[in-house]
Amino acid sequence: MLKSIDINGLAVVDQLNLELNTGMTVLTGETGAGKSILLTAMKLCLGERADAGLLRPGVNKADISLDFDISNTAAALSWLQENEFDDDNDCLIRRTVNADGRSRAFINGQAVNLKTLQQLSEHLICIHGQHAHLDLLLPAKQSQLLDASLTSTTALDDCNQRYEKWKTLNDELLSLTDGNEDNDSEKQLLKYQINELEQANVVHLNYDELVQEHSTASNMGKIIELAEMQINALYEDENHAIHTQLSSSSSELEQLADLSPQFSSISEQIKEATIQIQEASRDLRHQIDQQDDDPQQLALLDGQLSLIHELARKLHIEPQQLLEKHSALANRLSLLENRNERLTAIQQEISDANALYQKAAEALHQQRVKAAKKLSLDITKTLKTLGLPDGHIDIQVVYTGQKKPQTNGLDDINFLVTTNPGMPASPIGKVASGGELSRISLAIQVVTTQSNTTPTLVFDEVDAGIGGGVAETVGMCLREIAADRQVLCVTHLPQVASQGHQHLFVSKNKDSEQTKTQINVLHNKTRIEEIARMLGGIEMSEKTLAHAQEMLDKAI
């Protein structure tokens, strides 16, 4: 669950630390008070693209943190351990956004990219936005909702694996048949390129070692000069060498140690230093005597590097990639030279892969049909509690086996709806009005959420367009969902707000310079007053306050 949110320097928030509880937490406040900034902060921490325009005026950086307790979230714990981000049962996600638009993300203190952040976020929070009913009109979203209700993803995973195998073989076939009948011109080019690389000896080339060897040869005169100076300074200058001075000190310290044993260890240290200086000097002399300032060798290395850079430029790669390129060219040439034989074999492999895919797609279709029946019944049942007593959802799963293999199977999935008795079911966007579409979307979210294992669910004004008894039902549904997970709900409806276990009130404070958003936890009297405000506006009568009290008492 989400334990806390910390926000600094984001839009209308100067500084905010919000502690959250289990169960259902509702956020209310006047329109424009800043409720949406919490969701903006969450989405940034979950991997959404950053925008410098989100920063509070006058600040150089926005800093947002989400702190999760994942002790009961096996999927998140496993992901963190597999990716070496685990820190006991805690998960701290942090995101910073600079004034120049650059941002950084961290998981438990380790820097990560947005893709990694998004992968983790799937195991932590699911956000249902206020425009979810618009997404519902998209066929891809309808397919996604149905697949999310499958009891197992094995059939879907197997189908996609079969598709990838078929696609790999099909891509190879396209590569084999691309160009003229026998690809003579490509084979000639490949042979020429391979020959150039082999003449440059790239097969046995280590580019980094060659660069280092060239650098050494280029600086050989300076290397020899510096080494000779150090040899003299360390050992070979009999009058002023460090070895001569240390030898003298060592002799004196030996006498000192003879007079007082407490100096023995110091004497030994200097003696060892004297020996090490002598050995280091001899090693340096041995190394430098093997060096040769050879202009011809330098010219040879210059030529090798120039040739390598020229080849890399012609092939549009980096010099370090020449060996890998040689291997790729050789493989391609081998493929073309055995083209006819491979064409015969790959046709059969593609046929076999297609047959396996079709079998997997049919198995997935059967699972989807079964899941669609149950999901349709559950959504229809929920619709009747949301003020659509004649509403009915029919999830249509049509198998199109004549199509070429594609991801996610060969089904066309459509959510069909009817809201009036005797009328045929039709696509959602053609039948439902705006208010009906909101309720249909909410029914689908409530039903699909029940099979969702994400520990924290966020509902952003998904109750828009409803009221009265339907709103009360929505509130009770959300409270029921919160029985075994954390639910955060932004709402304008008192019927929903009264169902919360925790009530947060969002407000704006204006001074002569800036506007600041603050969030307070409401208890007892202040909560009654907020529910009353949502019921009856600014003027709160005794009757309105009593109604608010009744709604809160009923929710307990």
Structural domains in the chain, CATH included, are: 1-124+454-522 (3.40.50.300)
Please say whether the beta carbons of 2 and 20 come within 8 A.
Answer: yes
DSSP assignment letter at 232: I
Judge whether residue 132 has pLDDT over 70.
no
Hey, which of 162-166, 181-185, 323-327 has the most confident mean pLDDT? 162-166
The SS3 assignment for 91 reads strand
Instruction: Tell me the C-alpha to C-alpha distance, in Å, between residue 491 and each of 182, 288, 471.
Output: 68, 80, 10
Q: What is the mean pLDDT of residues 368-380?
A: 94
Give the model's pLDDT for residue 394: 92
Position 95 confidence tier, pLDDT thresholds 50, 70, 90: very high
Model confidence pLDDT, tens digit, residues 427-477: 887 765 666 777 787 788 778 777 667 888 888 877 776 777 788 888 888
Confidence of residue 525 (pLDDT cuts 50, 70, 90): very high
**pLDDT score of 435:** 63
Report whether 51 contacts 506 (CB < 8 A).
no
Average pLDDT over residues 246-273: 87
d(CA 388, CA 384): 5
Beta-carbon contacts of 37 under 8 Å, excluding residues fewer than 6 positions away, are: 7, 10, 11, 12, 13, 517
Per DSSP, the three-state class of 325 is helix
Report d(CA 121, CA 113) in Å as an integer. Answer: 13
Q: For all residues of the chain together, what is the average pLDDT?
A: 85
Using CA atoms, how far apart are residues 432 and 430, in angstroms rounded to an integer?
Answer: 6
Coil, strand or helix: which one is 322? Answer: helix
Contacts of 500 (CB under 8 A, 6+ apart): 23, 24, 25, 26, 479, 489, 555
Strands (E), 108-147: 110-112, 125-128
pLDDT of residue 224: 82
CA-closest candidate to residue 463, choices 488, 444, 483, 490: 490
Confidence check: pLDDT of 58 > 60: yes
Of the candidates 484, 481, 463, 461, the residue with the CA atom closest to the CA atom of residue 472: 463
d(CA 357, CA 507): 56
Which of the listed ranges 32-41, 157-166, 195-204, 398-407 does the model predict with the highest average pLDDT?
A: 157-166
Structure tokens at 409: 């199977």
Q: Which residue carries 């009058």 as its tokens?
A: 239
What local confidence, expressed as pLDDT, does residue 434 receive? 61
Confidence of residue 154 (pLDDT cuts 50, 70, 90): very high
Sheet arrangement for strand 103-107: 13-19, 2-10, 61-69, 90-98, 103-107, 110-112
Burial (CB count within 10 angstroms: exposed 0-12, middle 13-18, buried 19+), residue 536: middle
Interior angle at CA 28, CA 504 and CA 436, nearest 5: 135
Greater model confidence, 200 or 522 = 522
Higher pLDDT, 403 or 452: 403
Confidence of residue 371 (pLDDT cuts 50, 70, 90): very high
| pLDDT surpasses 70 at 501 | yes
How many CB atoms are located within 10 Å of the residue 15 CB?
Answer: 13
Q: Which residue has the higher pLDDT, 133 or 28?
A: 28
